Amino acid sequence: MKNNFINGLLMVAMVLFGMNVMAQKTYLHCGQLIDTESGGISSEKTIVVNGNMIEDVLDGYVGPSAADDSVVDLKNKTVMPGLIDMHVHIEHESNPSHYMNRFSQNEADVAFGTLKYARVTLMAGFTTVRDLGGSGVNISLRDAIARGEVVGPRIFTVGKAIGTTGGHADPTNGMRKDLMGDPGPREGVVNSVDDARKAVRQRYKDGSDMIKITATGGVLSVAKNGQNPQFTLEEIKAICDTAKDYGMIIAAHAHGDEGMQRAIIGGVTTIEHGTLMSEKTMELMKQYDTYYVPTITAGKEVAEKAKIDGYFPAIIVPKALEIGPKIQGTFEKAYRKGVNIAFGTDAGVFPHGLNGKEFGYMVEAGMPVMETIQSATVTNAKILGMADKLGQLKKGFIADIVATDENPTDDISTMERVSFVMKEGEIYKD
């Protein structure tokens, strides 16, 4: 009895002083398991999770090795790695008041709103996201999630996107002249090569993981043109070269063809939306190994919302009706042309948590189910520089694991109803 008491005190001391304690393991019994590397599906597998990592993947349903280990029964599920969405806006969600909120909401109001969006995204099975532009609250949210203070996906963020004066990422578009001022690199607005370099360095200083530029006009900005090129090639090269010096990849919002071509030649990593992409641009993307993030769901959503009187400012409506419906068709052509495809949705333009709808739209346009899942796992992990940690269910990978009730190769809509979510070894949905 005395020895038990002493052993108990030792265990408490080890915990209090951060010493290693034998970790409890979790054994996941998986009915079907998707191998995202090969594209195959195997049956009756056991994933052994130790802490936040996958310790092993074993054949059959293997029982625990210690009394305090736990077993999770996923024998009637299809199990796959945590999903990765390469295009979200975690700070907001589309609504008719969105354009007025920037005048009425404080930074704290935005921050509290992100808590709901982060949680629902994780519960939808997306354990990692790339946030492509907000006010900077997204940086603080990323850090709060990483510290375990907030429930949400792992976030890689650009902080504030970079645009040109009057361009898609100019935060003062549509304001009264006395409110416009003259935003510069600090606010993410550039008009020269020197500005471009400074804006990248400011994003780095702010804590951004990567860079986003708005290479063309956009649908939802309060400006007339949704497709014109908005950077010179020299400015884009300065941004990309500087970003790469700091170890950052570069995303380019682009609808118009000329702006896309400048972005590709200038050195961006991904093209977002790509609505009016020509075959020449598709060939350039293949030549430069640029990835296409289509965001089909967002295109469909803005086209539908544009039909609701008063939902968008009047200047946006014709752009939404013209651009939105074309994205799925462009995706179909780009896929058939052999362009590299990365999964991304633009969630925030539509309600967070509905990210899984993108899978169905991709399949509808001709991409095989397994390739859509690979685009949201191994492909996106590679782009993020996390190919050895995310996107696969293998020994030594982070334990981000999700499951669906049906096999997605039989019913792709099951990707909209993820029923089990584990992130870094912790179960959030079961």
- Residue 271, classed as helix, strand or coil, is strand
> Which pLDDT belongs to residue 6?
46
Among 109-113, 144-148, 414-418, the least confident range: 109-113
- Residue 36, classed as helix, strand or coil, is coil
Bridge partners of residue 70, in order along the sequence: 26
Among 54-68, 169-183, 334-348, the least confident range: 169-183
C-beta of residue 213 within 8 angstroms of C-beta of residue 268: yes
- Single out the residue of 339, 335, 330, 346 nearest to residue 277, CA to CA: 330
> Which pLDDT belongs to residue 95?
87
The average pLDDT across 109-126 equals: 96
The average pLDDT across 187-207 equals: 98
Does one domain contain both 372 and 402?
Answer: no
C-beta of residue 344 within 8 angstroms of C-beta of residue 85: yes
> Which pLDDT belongs to residue 20?
43
Q: Identify whether 16 is part of a domain.
A: no
Alpha carbon separation from 286 to 96, 254, 388 (Å, rounded)? 39, 17, 24
Among 201-205, 222-226, 369-373, 410-414, the least confident range: 222-226
Structure letter (DSSP) for residue 378: I
Does one domain contain both 178 and 42?
Answer: no
Does one domain contain both 260 and 406?
Answer: no
The average pLDDT across 356-360 equals: 98
Q: Identify whether 366 is part of a domain.
A: yes
Q: Identify whether 376 is part of a domain.
A: yes
User: What whole-number percentage of the chain has pLDDT above 70?
Assistant: 95
CATH code of the domain covering residue 173: 3.20.20.140
> Which pLDDT belongs to residue 4?
47
Six token digits for residue 314: 């009047």
> Which pLDDT belongs to residue 17?
46
Does one domain contain both 55 and 143?
Answer: no
C-beta of residue 425 within 8 angstroms of C-beta of residue 24: no
Six token digits for residue 122: 């994780």
> Which pLDDT belongs to residue 22?
52
Does one domain contain both 105 and 64?
Answer: no
> Which pLDDT belongs to residue 98?
82
Number of structural domains the chain divides into: 2
Q: Identify whether 342 is part of a domain.
A: yes
Q: Identify whether 278 is part of a domain.
A: yes
Does one domain contain both 92 and 205?
Answer: yes
CA pair distance 351, 173, nearest whole angstrom: 24
CATH code of the domain covering residue 40: 2.30.40.10
pLDDT digits (tens, 9 = 90+) for 17-52: 444 445 699 999 999 999 999 999 999 999 999 999
> Which pLDDT belongs to residue 219?
92
Alpha carbon separation from 12 to 15, 16, 51, 316 (Å, rounded)? 5, 6, 19, 61
Q: Identify whether 100 is part of a domain.
A: yes
Does one domain contain both 30 and 129?
Answer: no
Structure letter (DSSP) for residue 93: -
Q: Per DSSP, which regions of 295-361 are E strands? A: 340-341
Q: Identify whether 404 is part of a domain.
A: yes
Bridge partners of residue 211, in order along the sequence: 250
- Looking up tokens 């994205």 gives 327
The answer, yes or no, to whether residue 14 has pLDDT greater than 60, is no
Bridge partners of residue 253, in order along the sequence: 214, 272
Bridge partners of residue 162, in order along the sequence: 213
Bridge partners of residue 139, in order along the sequence: none
Does one domain contain both 408 and 352?
Answer: no
Does one domain contain both 94 and 63?
Answer: no
Q: Per DSSP, which regions of 188-234 are E strands? A: 189-190, 211-214
Average pLDDT for the chain: 94
CA pair distance 62, 48, nearest whole angstrom: 9
Among 2-11, 201-210, 278-287, 325-334, the least confident range: 2-11
Six token digits for residue 363: 């399949």
Structural domain boundaries enclosing 299: 83-383
> Which pLDDT belongs to residue 178?
86
C-beta of residue 414 within 8 angstroms of C-beta of residue 407: yes
Amino acid, single-letter form, for residue 111: A
Does one domain contain both 38 and 103?
Answer: no
∠ CA 91-299-208, nearest 5°, is: 35
Instruction: Give the pTM.
Output: 0.93
Does one domain contain both 272 and 331?
Answer: yes
Q: Identify whether 13 is part of a domain.
A: no
> Which pLDDT belongs to residue 101?
85
The answer, yes or no, to whether residue 68 has pLDDT greater than 90, is yes
Does one domain contain both 397 and 253?
Answer: no
CA pair distance 162, 165, nearest whole angstrom: 10
The answer, yes or no, to whether residue 414 has pLDDT greater than 50, is yes
Q: How many CB atoms lie within 10 A of CB 212?
A: 30
Phi and psi angles of residue 252, each rounded to the nearest 5 degrees, phi first: -125, 110
CA pair distance 421, 27, nearest whole angstrom: 14
